Amino acid sequence: MGTSGGGVRPVFGAVEGGGTKFVCMVGTSPSDVVDEITIPTTDPVETIGEVIAFFQRPRPDVQLMAVGVATFGPIGLDPNQSTYGCVLKSTKEHWSGARILAPLSRRLGVPLGWDTDVNGSVLGELRWGAARGLDSALYLTIGTGIGGGIAVNGEPLHGLMHPEVGHVPVPTLDGDSFPGICSFHGRCLEGVACGPALAARAGRPVPEISADDPIWDLEARYLAYGISAALLVVSPKRIILGGGVMHQRHLLPKIRRDLVEVLNGYVDMPELREGIDSYVVPAELGQKAGLYGALVLAERALASIGKVPFSSGREVE
């Protein structure tokens, strides 16, 4: 970005909202960070108040041009609906119905970008990470929960709502009696394969599960089924896997192997034959993917001033 009059440099704000923390930054790219803070996720009023206070800090050498927010979902994405800028029905205590964009708009007075944390992550990976140079990708995070962000033609996928890849149904593998932990669906992908599900199966934290434990073969197979469902519907040009569970490096080769087996030759493309190691890849931006994607959301919000007016009604209550 260039420099505006008086030597003041234009910058963006980024917010990644998570179940345990909100991370905020001011800058223009991963290599240009002016300021950053981590805020514990408490109740909406307190948390959003601290986010606003961060962006209102005096920074005489820069001017905040727009803010992008990539947050845990489900969230309202249709600007024509009263739920736009809000968290929808959430398992996070006190956050169902919380309005996030309204107080930011009122207090900051800049254009606002808005999407899920995983859609933010896929935008970050498209711009600076594992999907550079491509126009479509699936980003799947496997951690405390499972979520998926999808970009098509360079744009995050929206529709009736937004992708909820973590909640696709998966078949029950032979001999697996685990009931699942999803409070909505029990044995959806998240219910059988997220970090807490693995810990419940093993009776110990994920990092303490040995690499040769058969549980990893089960995990890889379930993830392969979930990924194959998204692949067959969306046909992304790259699949990017992130989240805490993927820190177990022995898991990725198993997922690649099982994905090929589950598809059984139906998608007859070189990426799923000799190129699988370059098609299903680890996230390059790590835990910062969603935060950097929020910078992209801010940039796009500034570019689209006047196209999508913000009208979310009352602020967080």
User: Residue 93 pLDDT > 90, yes or no?
Assistant: no
User: Residue 197 pLDDT > 60, yes or no?
Assistant: yes
CATH of the domain at 231: 3.30.420.40
| CB-CB contact of 316 with 100 (8 Å) | yes
**Across the chain, what does the average pLDDT equal?**
91
pTM greater than the 0.95 cutoff:
no
Q: What sign for the dihedral angle of Cα 87, 89, 95, 97?
A: positive
Which percentage of the chain shows pLDDT scores above 90? 81
Looking at the structure, tell me whether residues 167 and 252 fall in a common domain. yes
Which of the four pLDDT bands, split at 50, 70 and 90, describes residue 312? very low
Domain region containing 143: 130-283
Looking at the structure, tell me whether residues 294 and 258 fall in a common domain. no
Answer yes or no: is 317 within a domain. no
Q: What is the pLDDT of residues 261-300, one digit of tens each?
A: 999 999 999 998 889 999 999 999 999 999 999 999 999 9
Helix and strand element counts for the chain (H, E): 9, 10
Looking at the structure, tell me whether residues 34 and 165 fall in a common domain. no
User: Residue 5 pLDDT > 80, yes or no?
Assistant: no
How many domains does one find in the chain?
Answer: 2
Answer yes or no: is 183 within a domain. yes
Q: What is the pLDDT of residues 216-255, one digit of tens each?
A: 999 999 999 999 999 999 999 999 999 999 999 999 999 9
Answer yes or no: is 313 within a domain. no
- Whole-angstrom Cα distance, residue 121 to residue 138? 10
